[in-house]
Amino acid sequence: MMSRVVVLLFAFLSLFASSQIYAAPTREIVARQVGDLTCNFDRLSIVAGLATLQGTLKKLSGQVTNDTTAAAGLQTVTDAVSGAEGAIGVIAKALLTGQAAPADARTQVQANLTAAQTALAAINSTDSTISANLDKATTQLANAALAGQGVVANCK
């Protein structure tokens, strides 16, 4: 697991470092694309955090197969997380091609994370294993959202 995170970190940082070559001519866009260490850490944290969350959600979906209400709620969470990941992809593509990140993509990330949080909070279980994984998913989602707030604050 740790080796995947390290590989992801190097790939992510390489992509953002290489974006300098293709950056638009304004200094603001170049600075935003490359970002400083804190910005890139936040970017990596949200991407890695959502990937880890997806793994926990997959595990949970196998555990709630007999509970249609929980399964439906979990599907809503999974769809929202996928939507956030898709919007992050749009932002990354824009930055890598020298464009300003679309404001609506940033809004989509926030809206999807909020929807995921709301849906996840509504899922309950009396099974201790499922409850533990729901708590784990809630923590992972909160950490990813915190990293997203860091991107907004630190990647100007």
Closest CA to 101 of 10, 45, 23, 14: 23
pTM of the model: 0.78
Q: What is the tens place of the pLDDT at every residue in 43-54?
A: 999 999 999 999
Q: CA 49, CA 22: separation in Å to the nearest integer?
A: 28
Residue 122 has pLDDT above 70, yes or no: yes
33: confidence class by pLDDT, cuts 50, 70, 90: low
Please say if the pLDDT value at position 32 is more than 90. Answer: no
Q: How far is CA 78 from the centre of its chain?
A: 12
Mean local confidence (pLDDT), 114-141: 96
pLDDT at residue 11 is higher than 80: no
Residue labelled with tokens 């991407």: 47
What does the pLDDT look like over 52-96, one tens digit per residue? 999 999 999 999 999 999 999 999 999 999 999 999 999 999 888
Whole-number pLDDT of residue 58:
97
- pLDDT value, residue 2: 45
Residue 155: pLDDT over 70? yes
- Residue span of the structural domain in which 110 resides: 2-154
Higher-pLDDT residue of 1, 44: 44
In the chain, the amino acid numbered 107 is: T
Any idea what the CATH number is for the domain that residue 120 is in?
1.20.140
Report the alpha-carbon distance of residue 27 to residue 38 in Å, rounded: 19
Note the pLDDT tens digit of each residue in 88-112.
Answer: 999 999 888 888 888 899 999 999 9
Number of domains forming the structure of the chain: 1
Residue 9 in this model has a pLDDT that exceeds 90: no
